[in-house]
Chains A and B, each alone.
Chain A
Amino acid sequence: MEWEVVIGLETHTQLKTNTKIFSGASTAFGAEPNTQACEVSIALPGVLPVLNREAVNCAIKFGLAVNAEIAPRSVFARKNYFYPDLPKGYQISQYELPVVGKGAVTIQVPAVGKNPAYEKVVNITRAHLEEDAGKSVHGAVEGMSGIDLNRAGTPLLEIVTEPDMRSAAEAVAYAKKLHELVQWIGICDGNMQEGSFRCDVNVSVRPKGTEKLGTRREIKNLNSFEFMQQAIEYETRWQIETLEDGGTIQQATVLFNPDTGETRSMRSKEEANDYRYFPDPDLLPLEVTEADKARVKAEMKESQEAIKTRFETQYGLNAYDVNVLTASRAKADYFERVVIGCGDAKLAANWVIGELSALVNRLDFYSENPLADNPPVDANDLAQLLNRYKGGNLNRAQAKEVLVDIANQSFSNLGETVDQIIARRGFVQISDSGAIEAIIDEVLKANPAMVEEFKAGKEKAFNALVGQAMKASKGKANPAQVNEILKKKLS
């Protein structure tokens, strides 16, 4: 029998607000345990939640970005369960009335083997606001478990899809797209290692061609796309084998073990909690007006799709370049600043995608922090360098050396300007026609054989003569002028 896998995702995106969703405590990552746990985070007796409107704005941004319905009135509910890292004994979430309703995301599923790449629409069921829990810390104190409540109350937007995906590749393509999107609209830093973007994947299988959904198992807390791919592939195989062996699938929550590449059941449906959801009486219903939406919309910059189209038409860039340059909002902004500074989009694209990316990749090898979105070369400096390069002040090899120097400057804070680096390196070009002519006369005199070859019709000999002239000038001659004068002399 041929089987079909059906996949839906629930993604917890940590919202990029300065303070927690229901208190003024900081959300910064990596602080000493419990130093960002205010009286509300600890759930002292008598404390009350106050909604952070910034978190709501993030939800509205997401809703607008996926063309979703944004509820004029949504309700916060309490999800009741006991756990040491859940200080109130309930999580404030949204249940029956979420802030974001139905929407959709278009994904590009890459080619796999003989199967070509294709586009697909994944429907968003809902997205709701909720607070994160704290963390249990094991091993800090011998024989005891510790609780760190720094993360408790961090705002999350849980984004739920319809069971629209039909392969691990589609699920991963969706997750990557969503990951890109939430960073693009600036609501999430996308850091999967720090848990800012966590995916739960619901997987079921059914005989191909049938309508009825199979029983699903939920793979919890996948924090890399690679693991997601592996986990879904394993889980799919396991479910198909189980059914083909005459077994049945029990609804369950499973964990993926990256070491073994297997999924294992954590708890079955029978063990599931009754969360006793009810509207939180401490919070009024959340109201989002048309004016709120308009205000957020005005704050939002161009969508990724819009900027792609614009880069193609306005700058005449090809699809590959556009995709690379719009991989993130930061990259697109950077590119545009270089374009504005040097007035040449193609040149800017070449250098941002080529030399700058190569440099960043080399540096990244040694660096703990990804530099891709924050290159060590200021866009204005790169534009200035390209202006000098374009003006013929220095050649490509020299410009590359200056680029490295600019990057080093940013680490050492020496404060040298682009022109100072060019001067220090002695990359001031010889543009004096008389001086160049003198050099070329010397070269022609010293290489009569090459001159003969050129006259015999060998074009290559011309380049060799240019090379000799550049060498004689120690690379300082303006290459354009060398070409021009040499051509004149040989004609």
Chain B
Amino acid sequence: MMNRSLKQFGEMLQTKKISSVELTQTFLARIAQHNPSINAYIALDEAKSLAQAKAADALIAAGKASPLTGIPIAQKDIFCAKDWPTTCGSKMLANFVAPYDAHVITQFDAVGAVNLGKTNMDEFAMGSSNETSYFGGVKNPWDVERVPGGSSGGSAAAVAARLCAAATGTDTGGSIRQPASLCGFSGLKPTYGVVSRYGMIAFASSLDQAGPMAKSAEDCALMMNVMAGFDERDSTSLNREKEDYTRDLAKPLQGLRVGLPKEFFAEGLDASVGKVIDEAIAAYKKLGAEIVEISLPNTGLSIPVYYVLAPAEASSNLSRYDGVRYGHRTAEYTDLMDMYCKSRAEGFGAEVKRRILIGTYVLSAGYYDAYYLKAQQIRRLIAQDFVEAFKHCDVIMGPAAPSTAFKAGEKVDDPVAMYLQDIYTISTNLAGLPGMSVPAGFSNGLPVGLQIIGNYFDEARMLNVAHQYQQVTDWHLKMPQGIE
């Protein structure tokens, strides 16, 4: 039952085999059973979810259903949802109840989807293991000793443990794709500007992009049909015609040119992960794809560039959390400066502070040119690498993460090792390109994700490429033990 696709859930709802209220209750019951050990959700509100489910049932009864009507979706706690706690995984916003809806939330509401709850995440989306959350780490359903990846770790664990039908995530440097890889499901980071950022709490504005986290490519396509679209409240939102992301799913892959960047298969890649990726590539060859070796020469610079630009933007984006208007304010203070310092010292965790410090430093007078400006220049070179590469191939493939899920606590004291988790994903954020991760097999019982990178606005093709693979493999249907 829990392994059903969104399409199947939709058919059950629309043929009245099950009501949205019943489906929502089923998921809420599963959450009650499993969430204590997995910690995927920060906020649940049964009354609100069921009220939405009831409204969805009315829509279905009135014949006004669309594919996601009545389907329970988990929302990453980075999206403001009216009257829901919206914490962004931080003590700073532990007491914040959003008075308005993010665009993404509005889009799901508009089709009558059910908000099942707000999922755990690394604090302000800064992290690759979900260990920086003020609300505690999330456990990987495949092995609760291990991390689910981050920063969308709560959504990842919820999808993997079937504690929701699908979930939303956001991806600034890999925060959808790396957890999708570590938890064994399908996740898509769209082209920058395809999904509105309005109401999505900013980490690094020029890199942040929301996307779907779901069991299959087909599910991701259905989610994209709801999430994508122009929003005039986000100046970086792209005014493009609405598209149907499912339109190309069935296309055969004969003649597809798959580019393999040699830099993605070099030192740093876990050998057993590399083996899984090789097998996936072999499967694509069988599907008629043609393999092209390509080079993304500036891949190695993507992490240093990212760790200049993202903290720079974050240091400014997080300035609004000052304890003046909302959020955490220290209990006692002597003057304004004392209030700022204590509120922010208490409200932010170590990783957030580290990035605010880095960001403040690289923007400072005398350092700006050497760090921020230089990083912007290299960012353009990295984007140019992809432009070159796409002259020779239709999609790029490689690993989504260098290893499988690691043990909780293993990298918390080594930020650089943690940052390397995003080595294969960050460059697409810097270039603004779409990327996805799909389950490609296992290494020592832990999932491995295959990354598919497309050209700008090529989401439909990427979903097609992933879907065809999922027609000949069943990795995406595998479930962790003990959750059925």
Residues of A within 8 A of B (CB): 39, 42-51, 78, 80, 82, 84, 87-90, 147, 274, 276-278, 281-284
Interface residues of B in 267-322 (CB under 8 A from A): 312-313, 315-316, 318-322
> Does the CB pair A46–B102 fall under 8 Å?
yes
- Residue among A78, A80, A90, A278 with the highest chain B CB neighbour number at 10 A: A278
Selected from A51, A80, A278, the residue in CB contact (under 8 A) with B372 is: A278
> Does the CB pair B326–A44 fall under 8 Å?
yes
CA of A78 to CA of B205, assembled, Å: 13
Selected from A46, A147, A277, A281, the residue in CB contact (under 8 A) with B201 is: A46
Nearest CB in chain A to that of B96: its residue: A45
Given A45-B93, A46-B201, A284-B235: A276 touches B324 (CB 8 Å cut-off): no
Selected from A44, A87, A282, the residue in CB contact (under 8 A) with B80 is: A44
> Does the CB pair B364–A49 fall under 8 Å?
no
> Does the CB pair A282–B236 fall under 8 Å?
yes
Nearest CB in chain A to that of B360: its residue: A276
> Does the CB pair A89–B319 fall under 8 Å?
yes
CA of A274 to CA of B316, assembled, Å: 13
Interface residues of B in 345-374 (CB under 8 A from A): 360, 363-365, 368, 372
Sample of 5 further A-B pairs with CB below 8 A, known A45-B96, A46-B199, A278-B368: A48-B233, A82-B319, A90-B316, A281-B236, A282-B235
Given A43-B320, A44-B80, A276-B316: A281 touches B197 (CB 8 Å cut-off): no
> Does the CB pair A45–B363 fall under 8 Å?
no
Nearest CB in chain A to that of B92: its residue: A45
CA of A340 to CA of B88, assembled, Å: 66
Does residue B126 face the partner (Cβ distance < 8 Å to A)?
A: no
> Does the CB pair A87–B320 fall under 8 Å?
yes
> Does the CB pair A88–B235 fall under 8 Å?
no
> Does the CB pair A284–B236 fall under 8 Å?
yes
CA of A55 to CA of B233, assembled, Å: 17
Nearest CB in chain A to that of B101: its residue: A46
CA of A47 to CA of B372, assembled, Å: 24
**What's the least CB distance linking B437 to chain A, in Å?**
25
Q: What does the 1/0 interface line of B196-229 toward A look like (CB < 8 Å)?
A: 0111111011100000000000000000000000
Does residue B391 face the partner (Cβ distance < 8 Å to A)?
A: no
CB-CB under 8 A from A43, the residues of chain B are: 320, 325
Interface residues of B in 50-75 (CB under 8 A from A): none
> Does the CB pair B232–A50 fall under 8 Å?
yes
Selected from B235, B320, B325, B364, the residue in CB contact (under 8 A) with A276 is: B364
> Does the CB pair A89–B364 fall under 8 Å?
no
Number of A-B contacts (CB under 8 A): 98
CA of A276 to CA of B368, assembled, Å: 8
> Does the CB pair A78–B320 fall under 8 Å?
no
> Does the CB pair B324–A84 fall under 8 Å?
yes
> Does the CB pair B336–A84 fall under 8 Å?
yes
**What's the least CB distance linking A305 to chain B, in Å?**
38
Q: What does the 1/0 interface line of B95-115 toward A look like (CB < 8 Å)?
A: 010111010000000000000
27 of the cross-chain contacts (CB-CB < 8 Å) are A39-B100, A42-B325, A42-B326, A45-B93, A45-B321, A46-B79, A46-B102, A47-B199, A48-B233, A48-B234, A49-B235, A80-B315, A80-B319, A87-B324, A87-B325, A88-B319, A88-B320, A89-B319, A147-B325, A274-B365, A276-B360, A276-B365, A278-B363, A278-B372, A281-B313, A282-B202, A284-B235
**What's the least CB distance linking A216 to chain B, in Å?**
19
CA of A50 to CA of B201, assembled, Å: 16
> Does the CB pair B325–A46 fall under 8 Å?
no
Given A39-B99, A282-B205: A46 touches B200 (CB 8 Å cut-off): yes
Does residue B442 face the partner (Cβ distance < 8 Å to A)?
A: no
Does residue B151 face the partner (Cβ distance < 8 Å to A)?
A: no
CA of A87 to CA of B79, assembled, Å: 20
Nearest CB in chain B to that of A40: its residue: B233
CA of A249 to CA of B197, assembled, Å: 49
CA of A87 to CA of B320, assembled, Å: 6
CB-CB under 8 A from A46, the residues of chain B are: 79-80, 86, 98, 102, 197-202
Does residue B340 face the partner (Cβ distance < 8 Å to A)?
A: yes
CA of A45 to CA of B198, assembled, Å: 10
**What's the least CB distance linking B125 to chain A, in Å?**
12
Nearest CB in chain B to that of A24: its residue: B233
CA of A147 to CA of B336, assembled, Å: 13
- Residue among B79, B200, B316, B368 with the highest chain A CB neighbour number at 10 A: B316
Interface residue tally for chain B (C-beta within 8 Å) = 44
Selected from A47, A50, A89, the residue in CB contact (under 8 A) with B316 is: A89
> Does the CB pair B325–A47 fall under 8 Å?
no
CA of A82 to CA of B356, assembled, Å: 14
CB-CB under 8 A from A277, the residues of chain B are: 363
CB-CB under 8 A from A49, the residues of chain B are: 235
- Residue among B232, B318, B325, B364 with the highest chain A CB neighbour number at 10 A: B325
CB-CB under 8 A from A89, the residues of chain B are: 316, 318-320, 322
Given A276-B363, A284-B236: A45 touches B316 (CB 8 Å cut-off): no
Residues of B within 8 A of A (CB): 79-80, 86, 88, 93, 96, 98-100, 102, 197-202, 204-206, 232-236, 312-313, 315-316, 318-322, 324-326, 336, 340, 360, 363-365, 368, 372
CB-CB under 8 A from B313, the residues of chain A are: 278, 281
> Does the CB pair B319–A48 fall under 8 Å?
no
CB-CB under 8 A from A90, the residues of chain B are: 316, 319
**What's the least CB distance linking B194 to chain A, in Å?**
15
CB-CB under 8 A from B236, the residues of chain A are: 281-282, 284
> Does the CB pair B99–A44 fall under 8 Å?
yes
CB-CB under 8 A from B93, the residues of chain A are: 45
**What's the least CB distance linking B137 to chain A, in Å?**
23
> Does the CB pair B88–A45 fall under 8 Å?
yes
**What's the least CB distance linking A98 to chain B, in Å?**
18
CB-CB under 8 A from B315, the residues of chain A are: 80, 276
- Residue among A42, A51, A276 with the highest chain B CB neighbour number at 10 A: A276
CA of A84 to CA of B325, assembled, Å: 9
Nearest CB in chain A to that of B372: its residue: A278
Nearest CB in chain A to that of B80: its residue: A46
> Which 5 residue pairs of A and B lie closest in terms of their CB atoms, listed nearest first?
A89-B319, A276-B363, A281-B206, A281-B205, A46-B199
CA of A353 to CA of B153, assembled, Å: 76
Nearest CB in chain A to that of B79: its residue: A46
CB-CB under 8 A from A45, the residues of chain B are: 80, 86, 88, 93, 96, 98, 201-202, 320-321
CA of A80 to CA of B88, assembled, Å: 22
CA of A109 to CA of B24, assembled, Å: 77
Nearest CB in chain B to that of A45: its residue: B201
CB-CB under 8 A from A42, the residues of chain B are: 325-326
Nearest CB in chain A to that of B237: its residue: A48
> Does the CB pair B312–A278 fall under 8 Å?
yes
CB-CB under 8 A from B368, the residues of chain A are: 276, 278
CA of A44 to CA of B206, assembled, Å: 19
CB-CB under 8 A from A278, the residues of chain B are: 312-313, 316, 363, 368, 372
CB-CB under 8 A from B79, the residues of chain A are: 46
CB-CB under 8 A from A274, the residues of chain B are: 364-365
CB-CB under 8 A from B202, the residues of chain A are: 45-46, 282
CA of A461 to CA of B199, assembled, Å: 89
CB-CB under 8 A from A276, the residues of chain B are: 315-316, 360, 363-365, 368
CB-CB under 8 A from A39, the residues of chain B are: 99-100
> Does the CB pair B197–A48 fall under 8 Å?
yes
CB-CB under 8 A from B325, the residues of chain A are: 42-43, 87, 147
Given A88-B319, A90-B316, A282-B205: A48 touches B198 (CB 8 Å cut-off): yes
CA of A50 to CA of B318, assembled, Å: 19
Nearest CB in chain B to that of A283: its residue: B235
**What's the least CB distance linking A335 to chain B, in Å?**
43
CB-CB under 8 A from B96, the residues of chain A are: 45
CB-CB under 8 A from A88, the residues of chain B are: 319-320
**What's the least CB distance linking B433 to chain A, in Å?**
17
**What's the least CB distance linking A145 to chain B, in Å?**
8
Nearest CB in chain A to that of B87: its residue: A45
**What's the least CB distance linking A97 to chain B, in Å?**
14
**What's the least CB distance linking A473 to chain B, in Å?**
72
CA of A80 to CA of B236, assembled, Å: 21
